[in-house]
Amino acid sequence: MRAMPAPRLVRSLGAALLVILVAALLPGAAAAILPHPPATGAPSAAGTQAGSAAPRSVAWTSLGDQPPAADGTGYTVSGLQADGYTSRLGERFVAQASGRVGSARLAVHQFGAGGDGTFTIRLFADDDAAPGQPGQPGQPGTVLASAIGEAPRSEDPATQPTLVALPDGASLVAGRVYWLVIEPSPLTRLAWTVNQAGSTGSHLAADPWQVRITSQPQAAFEIVVRP
């Protein structure tokens, strides 16, 4: 009688016994023989890898290709001083992209003694010009977002524009007008460097006695939004 071929089950059991025997004689060899399970959480070819950064758009920038150096010059602004003086600075801009506010970068730095270098940054919607005064600049209106930033000292040779994360929720609309205003913490004195990109616009300077809005070369800053 002709012998029948061995069933597949017998061959499979034989292969498994061989793996067990090799693993007993050579520790670690089984890991090289047995197939590895797929890694959990690995991105599929059709999907996006978890944790990848969300797309961003620049809604406004006057930083230019080379951010201005923090050399102690620029528009000066002071937190509450011992003599009662305090001030704030702001710049008016037209959003170039729509989206939720993500962050701001400002060419701002601390100079002089006193204070901790922190400042409050506020993003405002613009109030329209007063009726009967076409062409006049508006005023900061509703606060859309605020956050705390910390400026480097002007003596630091590696000074870069200060990055401030702004809370999600507020949205900018391309073509609409907004204001970015900063106010230092008590005793802190800051210089906000003038842009080198040739950008000119409505510049706000306020102190306890008056609020002035004039057309000036803008302080350097950038606003980033997310879709």
Please state the domain extents for the chain. Answer: 57-226
Task: Kindly report, residue by residue over 121-130, the tens digit of the pLDDT.
Answer: 999 999 875 5
What pLDDT does 29 receive?
40
Q: What percent of the chain has pLDDT over 70?
A: 67
Q: Pairing state of beta strands 88-94 and 162-165? A: unpaired
**122 within 8 A of 223, measured Cβ to Cβ:** no
Nearest to 95 by CA among 58, 49, 70, 131: 58
Nearest to 107 by CA among 204, 197, 211: 197
Nearest to 115 by CA among 165, 76, 146: 76
What pLDDT does 8 receive?
45
23: helix, strand or coil = helix
DSSP, res 10: H
Q: Which amino acid is at 190?
A: L
Which of the pair, 64 or 3, is modelled with greater confidence?
64
pLDDT at 47 over 80: no
Task: Kindly report, residue by residue over 74-86, the tens digit of the pLDDT.
Answer: 899 999 998 999 9
Write out the two tokens for 5. Answer: 């071929």
Task: Kindly report, residue by residue over 114-162, the tens digit of the pLDDT.
Answer: 899 999 999 999 987 555 555 455 889 889 999 999 998 877 665 678 9
Give the pTM: 0.72
Task: Kindly report, residue by residue over 171-196, the tens digit of the pLDDT.
Answer: 999 999 999 999 999 999 999 999 88
Domain 57-226 architecture:
Sandwich (2.60)
**187 within 8 A of 69, measured Cβ to Cβ:** no
Residues 6+ apart with CB under 8 A from 93: 60, 62, 177, 178, 179, 180, 201, 218, 223
Q: Which amino acid is at 214?
A: T
Cα 90 to Cα 123: distance, rounded to the nearest angstrom: 9
Cα 104 to Cα 61: distance, rounded to the nearest angstrom: 9
Residues 6+ apart with CB under 8 A from 38: none
